Structure 1
Amino acid sequence: MTQQNRLFSAFIYALPALAAAIPTIPAYVLLPSLYGDTLGLGLTLTGLVFFAVRVIDMITDPLVGYLSDRSQSRKPWVAGGAVIAGIGIWFLFNPPLLPSAFYLFGWATVLFVGWTMFQVPYLAWGAELSGDYKQRSRITALREGAGLIGILFAGGLPVLFSVNGPLEQTSLLATVTIVLGAITVPLIIVFVPDVLRNVVVQSGRVVACPVSSVSSAAPAPRDRPVALPAPSQWAGLWQNRLFVRLLAAWLINGLANGVPAVCFPLFVKYGLGLGQRDQNVLILLYFACAVVAMPVWVIASGRVGKHRVWCGAMVMAIAAFAFVPVLGNGDFVGFAVICALTGAALGADLALPPAIQADVDDWDRYRFGIRRTGLLFALWNMTNKLAMAIAAGVAFPVLGYLGLTKTGGVDVAAGDVSDPHAQALFMLLVIYAVIPIVLKMIAVVMMWRFPLGARHQSALRRRLARRMF
């Protein structure tokens, strides 16, 4: 396959991420505040419902990963999941004026289960497209870059069309998501080769090997088909110390990102006293900086190493969050600078850890001799969801108990913490900025000396190729 065709396949592969990313901000950031505050369901009840939905969602991740590994193609999973998620998006993003907890629970479950059916095979498919250390970073960057462009659409369309009402905003984004999904998902089904279709296994051994559509690097073998996950196989996963270490750091950093994400609308409204339009502009700025910074992180990772560059980005986010406590009421400019810096750091969070995970998958195949890319990325996806579930399930009930939405919005930095309203705002500050700093510090310590770099991964690919032949 020519270089031009490989680039075309990589580009087409990344396109569905654009559509899938548009509802990300509403689903993870805006919807909890919309249902809990604007529509009057209550922060505590809304937080508990989202926690329950995401727990159910997490259970489906390893199941989908296992089944997609055993299937002959990841394409039916991607297509079917996209359809189910589209149905859930439409009803969840167009709620009645007085939705019940059952309405929220039902349609959120449909959305997140469909999302799992789409996302887990989609991520595994991307990891299988290339075995090259640097090329994997490029593929991941293309996919996550397309996702960031989708998020820019989510932040920019309401500003462009002057849609300030939260219900009108979510309805607009649901419509755009469904239209773009109907265009991009068929493209990947038609034009991107499915690596699993090229794998033939007889008597537990490979008799035909996959040919990467994106890179000419040696393909990874499939020594034997993955059996039903048994306790011994799960134990084998935990014996992969690189996987456990990376997964733990990903969870901790996910919490550090998830906590301020779900609290962002509340911090803008109650902590800074800013309006809906200011919030839309800040979201747009945040993700625009992530898009701009992502190529820089990817280029740097090819020279310095993915894990070191990721750590550098987390340190930058820590430094930015450290200035949140000095913000005053109405301080749009100061918060915009913080959003720009943390947004730039997000570019590394999105592009580099999944590429490191793909390298860890090589080590897993070499060490244990089985192919379980889908299962590994299911656990990866599940960990990300667990972080968001904990963020909403803990932060919202705490803030609801303290009566945050009953406050009038005072200066967080100067407020009297003896006043109940000021106590709620002070806790919002701690949850939004202080907790993420501590968590990111832990993640940096865990990943700074991560042993799997470019030289080690190249050696792994050569050994896997020799094992094949």
Structure 2
Amino acid sequence: MSRRAASFAAYGLLGMPLAMAALPVYIQVPIYYTSQLGLSLSLTGFVLFAARIVDTVQDPWIGLWVDRLARRSRLGRALWVACLVLIIAFAGLWLAPVSGPLLAAWLAFALIIVYTAHSVLNIAYLAWGARLAPDTVGLTKAAGWREAFGLAGVVLASTLPAWLVNAADRSSQQSMGAYSIAFALLLALGVTALLHRAPPWLHAQLAENSASWRVCLANQPVRRLLPPYFLNALSVSVPATLALFFIADVLVEPHWSGYFLGTYFLAGAAGMPVWMKLATRLGPARAWRLGMILAIITFVWAATLGPGDRYPYLAICVLAGLSLGADLVLPPVLLARLIPDRQAPAAYYGLWSLLGKLALALSGLALPWLAILDYQPGEIGSGGHALAWTYGGLPCFLKLLALWRLRNFHDSNGEQTT
């Protein structure tokens, strides 16, 4: 491996622990607190929504703050503080010291702290990636390393907790405690690699004062990119929130959940080099559009599945997973190309993160919606049809809307999706 490639790999490493934290928080927390700790489905959904709204609102402010720290060369200390806070809060999320009526309050408190620390690290990380290379090829390579390590973290998050439970007959809390230790070690390693081995944050010393949200939104190509990005993020967030419920109560294959999720994310990793090559040849917007089309064609069939359909669902995981690389790599590259050289990037990624978090917040409302439709976790057949179509049909409709909004998108280099 060349020195340049090694520096890109050092940048990408932090993507692994950040993904190891994000996946359990967004996918496993709902079923963990309802099925393991006894919190009601509706209350869990509303707590998730409220905590995610707080997380959504604060991200633009965090972006402005990160820009100021970068200009003053104080970012490293802030990243280490955020690292320590995230390690403690993430462990506390799974090892809840309370029960009964206080459980909902603990969930809200732990989620907000996890979200805040994770946002500081993630926004700084994305902004760093937008300023570590002067050209599209370098930006795409950096994004590829970041998302490849991120997918590795997702695969670990999908399989490691289940393996810990089965290997040593641990309880769910014990297995998540062990998982939290592994996460802490990798997070510390990732921050160290970013600060001491990654390519430097280019032009930080030349950037103007942090761009305000008005400045970000006045950038017309950015403004046109945000709606399809939000709709696509929402199309990913809904099935992420409902995946384990779908596997347990529609497919009735809860013991296969690790295999399904692992297959999906491994397919995403396998497809990532293809999307990077397509982005170089066709442009990132056209390549992203093709990824959306592949996702719709394959994932819509999930709404038609029922008990025992493990192998058709496994095939869907492979094909839909291949499209995942496009969603992960290409939108951040598009945004990075649209940020003027003389403007600090973290404010843009704060706004970007706001939309992604808003999509996650709205997806939490799927739980009380399903409760209204008589679905109850663990009760096979209760609201299963509504769960299947909310999980498989709604995301495809949202992706179609994202495709429609992306049809006239122009990037800064004149690319148009047609």
CA gap 1:260/1:406 in 2 versus in 1, 3 angstroms? closer
**SS of equivalent to 2:252:** coil
> Is 1:338 the counterpart of 2:281 in the alignment?
no
Bigger drift between 6-15 and 279-288 goes to: 6-15
How many angstroms apart in 1 are the aligned matches of 2:196 and 2:214?
A: 38
Bigger drift between 71-80 and 143-152 goes to: 71-80
> Is 1:404 the counterpart of 2:375 in the alignment?
yes
Among 140, 150, 154, the residue aligned to 1:151: 154
Give the aligned partner of residue 414 of structure 1.
none
- Residue 325 of structure 1 and its aligned partner are, at CA, apart by 3.1
Per-residue CA deviations over 1:226-259 (Å, capped at 9, x if unaligned) read 37x4xxxx33332222112211111100110000
Give the aligned partner of residue 30 of structure 1.
28
Identify the structure with bigger relative contact order (alpha carbons < 8 Å, sequence gap 6+): 2
How many angstroms apart in 1 are the aligned matches of 2:357 and 2:218?
A: 23
CA gap 1:193/1:335 in 2 versus in 1, 3 angstroms? closer
> Superposed, which structure 2 residues align to 1:207-222 within 5 Å?
222=207
Give the aligned partner of residue 373 of structure 1.
345
Q: State the AA in 1 paired with 2:314.
A: A
**SS of equivalent to 1:322:** helix
Among 160, 177, 182, the residue aligned to 2:188: 182
Give the aligned partner of residue 214 of structure 1.
none
How many angstroms apart in 1 are the aligned matches of 2:109 and 2:197?
A: 34
CA gap 1:318/1:31 in 2 versus in 1, 3 angstroms? same
Give the aligned partner of residue 351 of structure 1.
329
How many angstroms apart in 1 are the aligned matches of 2:191 and 2:378?
A: 45
- Residue 25 of structure 1 and its aligned partner are, at CA, apart by 1.8
Q: State the AA in 1 paired with 2:391.
A: Y
- Residue 175 of structure 1 and its aligned partner are, at CA, apart by 1.7
Among 193, 196, 210, the residue aligned to 1:226: 210
- Count of aligned positions: 408
Alpha carbons 1:36, 1:42 under 8 Å: kept: yes
Give the aligned partner of residue 8 of structure 2.
10
How many angstroms apart in 1 are the aligned matches of 2:185 and 2:204?
A: 34
How many angstroms apart in 2 are the aligned matches of 1:142 and 1:257?
A: 21
Give the superposed CA RMSD: 2.2
Alpha carbons 1:23, 1:173 under 8 Å: kept: no
Aligned sequence identity (%): 28
How many angstroms apart in 1 are the aligned matches of 2:369 and 2:35?
A: 14
> Superposed, which structure 2 residues align to 1:250-265 within 5 Å?
250-265=229-244
How many angstroms apart in 2 are the aligned matches of 1:255 and 1:101?
A: 25
Q: State the AA in 2 paired with 1:397.
A: P
Give the aligned partner of residue 383 of structure 1.
355
Q: State the AA in 2 paired with 1:37.
A: S
Among 223, 229, 238, the residue aligned to 1:244: 223
- Residue 400 of structure 1 and its aligned partner are, at CA, apart by 2.1
Alpha carbons 1:75, 1:194 under 8 Å: kept: no
How many angstroms apart in 2 are the aligned matches of 1:376 and 1:182?
A: 26
Alpha carbons 2:98, 2:106 under 8 Å: kept: no
> Is 1:126 the counterpart of 2:129 in the alignment?
yes
> Superposed, which structure 2 residues align to 1:85-164 within 5 Å?
85-96=86-97, 98=99, 100-161=103-164, 162=166
**SS of equivalent to 1:22:** helix
CA gap 1:102/1:37 in 2 versus in 1, 3 angstroms? same
Unaligned ranges ≥5, structure 2: none
Among 271, 281, 284, the residue aligned to 2:250: 271
> Is 1:439 the counterpart of 2:398 in the alignment?
yes
Give the aligned partner of residue 211 of structure 1.
none
Q: State the AA in 2 paired with 1:431.
A: T
- Residue 60 of structure 1 and its aligned partner are, at CA, apart by 2.0
Alpha carbons 1:133, 1:454 under 8 Å: kept: no
How many angstroms apart in 2 are the aligned matches of 1:311 and 1:456?
A: 13
**SS of equivalent to 2:376:** helix
Alpha carbons 2:221, 2:338 under 8 Å: kept: yes
Per-residue CA deviations over 1:304-362 (Å, capped at 9, x if unaligned) read 11111111111111111221233231110011111111111111100111011101113
Bigger Rg, which one: 1
**SS of equivalent to 2:229:** helix
Give the aligned partner of residue 53 of structure 1.
51
How many angstroms apart in 1 are the aligned matches of 2:161 and 2:217?
A: 45
How many angstroms apart in 2 are the aligned matches of 1:260 and 1:59?
A: 23
For normalisation by structure 2, the TM-score amounts to 0.92
How many angstroms apart in 1 are the aligned matches of 2:415 and 2:363?
A: 35
Alpha carbons 2:283, 2:415 under 8 Å: kept: no
Give the aligned partner of residue 41 of structure 1.
39
CA gap 1:342/1:247 in 2 versus in 1, 3 angstroms? same
Q: State the AA in 2 paired with 1:285.
A: T
